[in-house]
Amino acid sequence: MCANMTVVLGGASSGKSDIAEKLCVNRMLQKVYLASAECLDQEMRTKAAQHRTKRGADWCTIEEPLEAARVISDRKAGEILLFDCATMWLTNHLLADHDLSRETDALLDAIKSSPAEVVIVSNETGLGVVPENALARRFRISQGDLNRRLAAQADTVIGVMAGLPFALKGNLPAGLS
């Protein structure tokens, strides 16, 4: 069973990744960063390189756009895994026309059985308008479902707005406020 699971939710560029990294950085555990974004252009390659540099050399980075469940299943006790982010992972599966329900079930099962601590970053998409096209509506519904299921399984859920964290479930860890 997952030793500890935290979900960090917020809008785009809200500061959720910074908060998630703060949750991990001072832990006396081996740090593993699971990146789900694909670096398909120079802008994304530059952004990824900047993030790796900012995190520092004490992180093991795994770039995996689809197989998050496998990566999480491979984790060991004594590790803390930061999965950034569930939204990109879901988008990758949606665009590949995969069975989102099956992929979500596999992800949640892997998290539940992981002996590592897991921190997951995900976008909150339920605060905006109803999208005008079917693909965007399907994404929004699937993202909402994923977030609800992650939050139900998590020990702690942290919302982030304008870089400020607030507890949605559990308590804010010391040093985040």
Question: Per the residue annotation, which of 22, 51, 52, 149 is the catalytic one?
Answer: 51
- 120 has which bridge partners? 7, 83
Task: State the burial class of residue 15 (Cβ atoms within 10 Å of its Cβ: 0-12, 13-18, 19+).
Answer: middle
Q: Which of 45, 42, 43, 41 is nearest to 53 (CA)?
A: 45
Active site residue 98: no
User: What residue type is assigned to position 25 of the chain?
Assistant: V
The span from the CA of 19 to the CA of 168, in Å, is 14
Cβ neighbours of residue 56 closer than 8 Å, sequence gap 6 or more: none
Separation CA 93–CA 149 (nearest Å): 17
Contact 6, 157 (CB under 8 A): yes
Residues catalogued as catalytic: 51
